[in-house]
Amino acid sequence: MIKPTDCRTNQTSKEHFGRIHRWYSPYFLAIVLTLSYVSTNAEIAPLRALPGHQRTVELINYFIQRYHYRTTQLNDELSSQILDRYIETLDVNRSYFLAADIDGFEQMRFHVDDYLRQQELDPIFELFDLYRERAVDRAKFSMRVLSEGFDLNIPESYRFNRSTSPWPTDQAQLDDIWRRRVKNDYLSLKLAGQSHDVILKTLGDRYRQLNRRTKQITSTDVFETFINAYITSVEPHTSYFSPRSTENFKIRMSLSLEGIGAVLQTENEYTVVRRIVAGGPAERSKLLIAGDRIIGVGQNEDRPLVDVIGWRLDDVVDLIRGPKNSMVRLRILPQQEGPDASGRIISIVRDTIRLEEQAAQKSVISVERGDHVYRLGVIDLPTFYVDFDGRSSGKTDYRSTTRDVTRLVKELQTENIDGLIIDLRGNGGGALTEATNLTGLFIEQGPIVQVKDAKGRIRIKHDSDPTIVYRGTLAVLVDGNSASASEIFAGAIQDYGRGIVIGEPTYGKGTVQNLIDLDRYARNEDEELGQLKFTIAQFFRINGDSTQHRGVVPDVLLPTARDDIEHGERGLENALPWQQIASTRYRPFDQSDLTTAVSNIPIPPPNTCCRSSRI
């Protein structure tokens, strides 16, 4: 845990660097970075903080220091951790920066906290500018090595993971690392059976794409990267969403968006349709298919088309998304046409898209035992979702996990199932309210989870509705990636004795996050600041145990080849420790009606249900 430090070493370093702070920051740092690497990419304009970034830092400092579950202060200890994490985020494989660069960054070690306190971001952006220049230079170097060729008769090795290797001492050593990397890339494709000409084209496209994407990085990207290095140094589940990331987060939680219903990806300079979403406007129009390349986007009938070749994918997506019932025009290049073709223009009217692949799904499996065939209903639940905006605005048909599962359970009951399986494998969590509401479908009324805030106060989340949607035999499938809300649900089912939990020990995330819309605190209407998700509490099972670190241990353990020591919360830096509080009063579920049924229904073997893993 990071606490205020008054030790002599910390204070001495602060005073020592404080005396020279006004001499080198940020101006001296700029000189250090410039001298350590003479830019060969003068065409790349330096990136700098945007007007709203200072206000965002000010607000994040306020919320983290006042309301975060973990007591936090901006000090030298945290400053050092932030710098290390920021550098690691940029160059985790130690393949861009030189040892001299890292030595130069030491000037910042005990001053990142000062930059944050003063909202001084220039040194942070200058460090990133150096990284970007290095990355562009490495892309160009790779293309040069590829064109010059190399001796394949010389036996050499290439280290894929350099995260713990020494930083390259000079340019020659860095060049050698990348020469070996290109050679390894070539040999990998050669062993895969590709011809020399195909390999040259494939790798050339790959390195040009690295060059292009690096140049497309924006100030918002840099800011988001740095701020997340800052707040994940406090605790791993605290994170910042830029305005664009905020929109994507809302889409993930509500499982809906307004657009045309197509999944896009970048291939070389083109935005390519990877697949069409079933039931969306694109599918209904029959004008767009997988493999089509989008080369121009226009709004309505009268707005000009904008050429989007070479654009960042998220910028293209921003143009294509839009309000329901509005029109977007696309110039597309069919997959079979060459780059010189003019393509054709299509018009699609936007609509609300339901992202059904992330919603709860049902199925029925049959398992034979003796002369009887048992029908087991399965509800596959990838995430705990809820349309926050729809719920808060009073929308009667807003989407949520509990509403969907209620409907699916009732449908399964009409199919005369003998038992029900809730499949939470790979479910990383989501809305806490949905975990408590979902549990309430299977018990009468009572406590579901205990929540302890930063001041030590404990609140109990109850199910106050005595109605039970399903009273039959129940099993919950979990694995090492079932986390957070999944663990609340599985733990409550286990504590009540309502069903059996089957699978692997779960992830071990026992913390509660709150989402703050920073735009509410903007100084003017034009400022878009994003959102802050930070840990405000820790949840505990009704038996008093925390799921933090330990997770939920299933009643029926299935074997796994994974090393659980480093998996999940146990493998994260700065994670909160396991704790225990007093049990709350609750009455176990009356299973008298289920005793006979449970003994007759076999447990299906692993992978009988819908999936074995989810990535």
- Tell me if 457 sits within 8 A of 415, measured CB to CB: no
Residues 6+ apart with CB under 8 A from 118: none
Closest CA to 463 of 433, 487, 504: 433
Closest CA to 276 of 291, 297, 266: 291
DSSP H or E segment with residue 100: helix 99-105
Closest CA to 481 of 499, 504, 501, 511: 504
| Whole-number Å distance between alpha carbons of 472 and 420 | 7
Q: Which residue has the tokens 């945290």?
A: 78
The number of CA neighbours under 13 Å toward the Cβ of 598 is 14
Closest CA to 264 of 279, 274, 252, 251: 274
Per annotation, catalytic residue among 484, 486, 545, 546: 484
What stretches of 195-301 show up as alpha helix (H) in DSSP?
A: 196-215, 219-232, 243-254, 281-285
Per annotation, catalytic residue among 14, 362, 461, 509: 509
Residues 142-174 as b/e (b if ≥16 CB within 10 A, e otherwise) read bbebbeeeeeeeeeeeeeeebeeeebbeeeeeb
- Tell me if 331 sits within 8 A of 343, measured CB to CB: yes
Q: Judging by beta carbons within 10 Å of its beta carbon (0-12, 13-18, 19+), is residue 587 exposed, middle or buried? A: exposed
| Whole-number Å distance between alpha carbons of 493 and 132 | 50
Instruction: Return the number of other C-beta atoms located less than 10 Å from residue 1's C-beta.
Output: 10
- Tell me if 187 sits within 8 A of 155, measured CB to CB: no
- Tell me if 424 sits within 8 A of 490, measured CB to CB: yes
The number of CA neighbours under 13 Å toward the Cβ of 405 is 29
Maximum distance among all Cα pairs of the chain, rounded to whole angstroms? 86
Angle (CA) 609-442-437 rounded to 5° is 100
Angle (CA) 518-521-526 rounded to 5° is 85
**Is 495 among the residues known to form the active site?**
yes
Per annotation, catalytic residue among 292, 495, 545, 546: 495
**Is 509 among the residues known to form the active site?**
yes
| Whole-number Å distance between alpha carbons of 115 and 107 | 13
Closest CA to 379 of 353, 351, 359, 350: 359
Active site residues: 484, 495, 509
